[in-house]
Amino acid sequence: MQAVHARRARIILMRALVLSAENTMPVLAELAAPQPRDGEVLVKVAACGVNYADTLIRRGRYGAKPPFPIVPGFEFSGTVVQGSGPWSEGDRVMGLGSACYAELVSAPASALLPEPSGFSALEAAAFPVTYLTAMAMLRLSVRANPGDTILIHAAAGGVGTASIQLAKALGLTVLATASSDEKLGLARQLGADFTFNYLNDSFVEPVLGFTGGRGVDIVFESIGGDSLQNDVAVTAPFGRIVVYGLAGGAAADPPLGKLFRNSISVSAFLLQTLTQNQDEMNAVLSELIEIVDRHAIRPVIGKVYPLADGAEAWQDLEARRSTGKLILVP
């Protein structure tokens, strides 16, 4: 970062990744640093998390299309350089925000959390989106109970690894799918009770076989395509399916006849809905932090890239060459 003088104003410049248009890749540029508004905190970024939603924006498949050019990124960790509310200069924090692929981020004070004790800056940057998503789906979307069986797709990714850890901590039996033996090995290390490579064949018969023909109580669906139809086929009576991503393309319509036959419910989850409802957010966050502390849960870091290599990180994520959470470091 550097400062330049323009007449009377002192402009702080920072490095950031900029996405100029759909179907392009982000490039490193020098921009004016954000100016915090009332109630916002300025943070020097130590690390920022890479999410699949970032790549959906690039490909024009995200729900809300932003005006380009933009600085991508939804989560970060770092040190407060200009405080507000309960935050003071020097506090180590993590949080949700926008334009996080940068050396400096301005975020609402309410969107920040203290960096958990014992976490590295990399682990803190990997935490907010994935663990809040997984915990909110478990508690709000599907009302998970001890003894439930859950099928987690893309189980070696950021949300997948968080979901396995939290589901096991809550006493669930975990069935996990992934696209390689290496990824399935990671799922088993995290506690998955049954794993299956969904690229080899349909997961329907193996899942029904493992559950004695009953099916699973819960499905975390993130693949899209025909996967939802197969989810319905392996869901037990009164089971719950939550869709939180469409990595493989738009989901086919669920077969209504089968939904009725077994009284299966299908819902959708978007993290933004949680962040806009403070009471639910506080409840989910409180239980999440308690579980993380009690079970010593830590984010799985797949690979760390310099900020300038953000395009490479996106390419690895889109090509399914990654496990765990990918991190950018300014």
Tell me which of 3.40.718.10, 3.40.190.10, 3.40.50.720, 1.10.1050.10 is the CATH number of domain 130-272. Answer: 3.40.50.720
Phi, psi angle pair for 82, to nearest 5°:
-145, 110
pTM tops 0.85, yes or no = yes
Contact 73, 99 (CB under 8 A): yes
- Number of Cβ within 10 Å of residue 213's Cβ equals 8
Cα dihedral 263→264→266→267 (10° resolution): 70
| Closest by CA position to 43, among listed 2, 96, 118, 122 | 96
pLDDT digit string (tens) for the chain, length 330 residues:
654 344 444 678 999 999 999 999 999 999 999 999 999 999 999 999 999 999 989 988 887 788 999 999 999 999 999 998 999 999 999 999 999 999 999 999 999 999 998 999 999 999 999 999 999 999 999 999 999 999 999 999 999 999 999 999 999 999 999 999 999 999 999 999 999 998 888 999 999 999 999 999 999 999 876 788 899 999 999 999 999 987 666 656 777 888 999 999 999 999 999 999 999 999 999 999 999 999 989 999 999 999 999 999 999 999 989 999 999 999
Q: What share of the chain is helix, strand, coil (3-state, %, to 5)?
A: 30, 30, 35
SS (H, E, C) 250-291: CCCCCCHHHHHHHCCEEEECCHHHHHCCHHHHHHHHHHHHHH
Domain extent listing, the chain: 2-127+299-329, 130-272
> At 32, which helix (H) or strand (E)?
strand 27-32
Q: In what order do the strands lie in the sheet with 9-18?
A: 2-6, 9-18, 27-32
| Amino acid found at 5 | H
Residues 251 and 254: their CA atoms lie apart, in Å, by 8
2-127+299-329: CATH topology: Quinone Oxidoreductase; Chain A, domain 1 (3.90.180)
The H-or-E segment that residue 293 falls in is helix 278-295
